[in-house]
Amino acid sequence: MRIRYMRDLAFMAVSLAVAACTSTRTITEPVVYSQAEAADSVRIQVGQTIAVGDLRIRFDAVPSDSRCPSDVVCIWEGDGVATLVAERVATPSSAVSLNLHTSIAPKSGEAHGFKIELLVLTPYPSTKSPIKPDGYSAWIRITPAG
């Protein structure tokens, strides 16, 4: 009986360790917003997809973040870059990749008849706590182009 209990306990410990190592922050189902909500501003996390009508926008990554850390004095504010991919549900092969910046141009781009604007990239850098690649969120505005 005691051996079986120890074996079950060991199995649970290994299962928990494997689950902890394989858990990811991947978000599979798109969060759906109305056009009115998207025209105001919406939040999207790295790895997340949002939907506005038949437009899907995925936040792929932050390939560069040179923004001046909040606990440092810098001579330039720096720049963060968010890579967003926009596609229509009916034609996913027509994906448009946008590299939008926090400080320099372009801060917005057009895809499939919509203007997509990067408003804020969070969290703001600090020397005390590095940001994990999947730890970013962006506030974006999506409006009809034109």
Q: What's the whole-model pTM score?
A: 0.79
H or E stretch including 44?
strand 42-45
Q: How many CA atoms does the CB half-sphere of 18 hold within 13 Å? A: 6
pLDDT digits (tens, 9 = 90+) for 52-97: 999 999 999 999 999 999 999 999 999 999 999 999 988 878 899 9
Residue 102 has pLDDT above 80, yes or no: yes
How many structural domains comprise the chain? 1
CA distance 114 to 24: 31
Over residues 132-137, the mean pLDDT reads: 96
- Residue 110 counted as domain residue: yes
Residue 8 CB neighbours (<10 A): 10
- Residue 7 counted as domain residue: no
pLDDT digits (tens, 9 = 90+) for 1-16: 545 444 444 444 444 4
CATH number of the domain bearing residue 113? 2.60.98
- Residue 70 counted as domain residue: yes
How much is the pLDDT for 37? 96
φ/ψ of 29, rounded to 5, equals -80, 130
How much is the pLDDT for 28? 63
- Residue 87 counted as domain residue: yes
pLDDT digits (tens, 9 = 90+) for 110-125: 999 999 999 999 999 9
CA distance 131 to 122: 10
Structure tokens at 74: 């810098």
Domain that residue 123 falls in: 25-144
Contact 39, 141 (CB under 8 A): yes
- How far apart, in Å, do the first and last CA atoms of the chain sit? 74
Residue 40 has pLDDT above 50, yes or no: yes
- Residue 8 counted as domain residue: no
